[in-house]
Homo-oligomer: A and B are copies of this chain.
Amino acid sequence: MKLSSRTEYAVRAMAELAEMHGGDPVPLRGIAERQDIPEKYLEQLFRQLRKAGLIRGVRGAQGGYSLTREPRDVTVGDIMRAVDGPIAVCSCAAEGEGDDECERKSHCAAHPVWARLQSGIVSILDSTTLYDMLAETPAHDIQGNRGGGS
């Protein structure tokens, strides 16, 4: 029941990209330094985020990374799935399909609990966007993204 460091790092880094959204691409090195994440490791994560279509990389000098979508359209669940694969509290209650392994044991008393846990987790992760994250972080009143929440 613990988050991987991949997820922790990726979410923090994505939050920073969201902050800078709309401006120039942000070089990975700076993100790694500010967030205190090993640079090469973050590079690996960014590759996965890119393959998942969440970010775009611009090569060469003055290059860097930027979001492909609006911060309000990227959820924490999206990020987690990109770097850690499908969310699954156990093989019995994976998202996607094919829980054939446990289906036959339909008399398993634990199954309903895990299913409830799984859907609770997924619903929290999928209902929080990068925009939400920035909005609830006090230290950030970002230029550009104001507008009236409430």
Contacts and interface: CB of A to CB of B under 8 A. Distances in A.
Interface in A7-53: 7-8, 11-12, 15
B3 A108 contact: no
Contacts of A76: 113
A100 interface: no
A107 interface: yes
B121 A90 contact: no
Contact of A15 (B3, B110, B137): B110
Interface in A114-145: 114, 116-117, 120-121, 124-125, 128, 133-134, 136-140
A89 B1 contact: yes
A88 interface: yes
A28 to B, nearest CB: 18
B89 A110 contact: no
A12 B109 contact: yes
A109 B84 CA distance: 20
A80 B137 CA distance: 32
Interface of A: 1-4, 7-8, 11-12, 15, 76, 80, 84, 87-90, 106-110, 112-114, 116-117, 120-121, 124-125, 128, 133-134, 136-140
